[in-house]
Structure 1
Amino acid sequence: MSILRTIAMFIYLFGYMILHYSILRRAERAAAAGDTATVEQIVNQHIPRWSRGILKVTGVSLSVEGLENIPKDRPCVFVANHRSYYDIPLLLAGLEKPHGILAKEELEKIPLLNRWMKLLGCVFVQRDDVRASVRALNDATAIVEGGRSFVIFPEGTRYKGEEGGAGEFKAGAFRIAVKTSAPVVPVAVTGARALFETNGNRCRPGSVRIKIMPPIQTAGMSKAEQKQLPDAVRQSILAALK
């Protein structure tokens, strides 16, 4: 059954994008013309729908707590723990609307998916290239400066330890928030790895919880507070994972 769910997931994942190819092209033409309102309308309609469809096809039940903690009048930087490939569709479906994500460069090579991600405002990063990583962080910073929220996974890779744990939160990603004085919104994702990775990379049904915590203001932070920020956010997420 898990094999059939996995096949169905991939059929749906690419099938949706193929069936809606004309909408993708319309969004790309709007982007080329500088019509950001049309791009945003298409992205906000189709990306959450596509993401929720992935969850439905694979039998995933998602509960979200704390949507009221998302700032309404300014962009923020969402900081989430990273356990699974599912984390991206989970956050695209679970936040108040989809936001750009700091994603690994391999995703930029996937046809159609890469084009939707660029419309969304995702930034692709080469983790083993310091200069490229700096450029990616600068690109993400520019997105937040332009008034759009952004999502980062500061561990830099999926954490493969026991449920309830998290890897080290790297400081570089937090510079996006500090440089733009945007609030950091911690997000704890529980149960995602059991949907795929712990089942031999085959889909299986399950429940996931997303908990969105109150924002942490970065404006006016001292150098010492900035240095402590990654671990402070990590600790708050760890507490929410318990």
Structure 2
Amino acid sequence: MKRILLMVFRNLWFVPWAWCKLCYRASHTDKYTEEEQYSFIRWVDLHANKGGNVTIDVHGSANLPSEDGFMFFPNHQGLYDVLAIIEACPRPFSVVAKKEVGNIPFLKQVFSCLKAFLLDREDVRQAMKVIIDVSKEVEKGRNYLIFPEGTRSKNGNKIGTFKGGSFKAATKAKCPIVPVALINSFVPFDRNTIRPVTVQVHFLKPLEYEDYKELKTTEIAALVEKQIRETIDANVEE
């Protein structure tokens, strides 16, 4: 909460205008292209990070696929995760998030602008529809992000078990899977401090369809989890 207040205080001239613009864009998504929406959100994100003493340290940008139609699979540390990746990634992407997060002010408007899918984990039929819809969108060339843990780890830089079902949309779309390792992304919003923090975003080498087509989704999940865990262990500062 303290950092959010700091972000607002240091951007007093900017926040009212940006909030009004964000709400308008969230209510009129058809008036803007995906690139225009993403560019605006990224601009707001940059202001918030600068005001909140948050530095994004990006690694592996060269690993981003040259063509759109890929999916990010990051570890899930906190509410700040998506905002960290938005600053780190110049390429537009959208999100698959649990429906509860879709009611949080600011994130609600951001997800609307990104035309994100909100997943009801208690409704199997709705979850399957989301998987099918996301796979179709990826086949059309859109990029998406799914947190394969399903929920925040709430354990700092320790990660939870990745769930195979999270990878079904990717396997249906036969798209590149991009593992993303987040370090210290839990600090900005989940720690009650305003001390400067550096969040690391590591884009790892993509898994192409040929790399995983013979694997079960549970095996893909275990492989991606292993790669992210090893990256975190190698880069976290104790």
TM-score (norm 1): 0.84
The partner residue of 2:186 within 169, 189, 193 is 193
Structure 1 residues 25 and 238 mapped into 2: Cα distance closer, same or farther (>3 Å)? closer
Task: Determine the C-alpha separation between the residues in 2 that align with 1:222 and 1:152.
Answer: 19
The CA deviation at 1:143 is 1.5
Tell me: CA distance 1:47–1:6, structure 2 relative to 1, closer, same or farther (3 Å).
closer
Post-superposition Cα deviations, 1:208-241, rounded to whole Å, max 9, x if no partner, equal 1111111101247444454410000000000000
The aligned residue for residue 236 of structure 2 is none
Query: Sequence identity, in percent?
Result: 26
Aligned match for 2:227, one of 211, 222, 236 = 236
Which residue is 2:177 aligned to? 184
Paired residue secondary structure (2:72): strand
Is the CA contact 2:156–2:186 (under 8 Å) kept in the aligned structure 1? no
Q: Which residue is equivalent to 1:173? A: 166
When the two chains are superposed, the root-mean-square deviation of aligned CA atoms in Å is 2.6
Say whether residues 1:137 and 2:131 are aligned partners: yes
Aligned mates of 2:220, 2:22 — CA distance in 1: 42
TM-score (norm 2): 0.85
Contact 1:182 1:219 in 2 (8 A): no
What are the residue-to-residue correspondences of 1:107-122 with 2, within 5 Å?
107-110=101-104, 113-122=107-116
Q: CA deviation at 1:72?
A: 1.1
- Aligned residue runs from structure 1 range 82-161, under 5 A: 82-110=76-104, 113-161=107-155
Contact 1:99 1:151 in 2 (8 A): yes
| Aligned counterparts, 1:184-223, within 5 A | 184-199=177-192, 203-219=194-210, 221-223=212-214
**Is the contact between residue 178 and residue 219 of structure 1 (CA under 8 Å) also seen in structure 2?**
no
Residues 68-112 of structure 1, C-alpha deviations (whole Å, 9 max, x = no match): 111112411111000011101111111122310111212333466
Structure 2: stretches of 5+ with no match in the other structure: 234-238
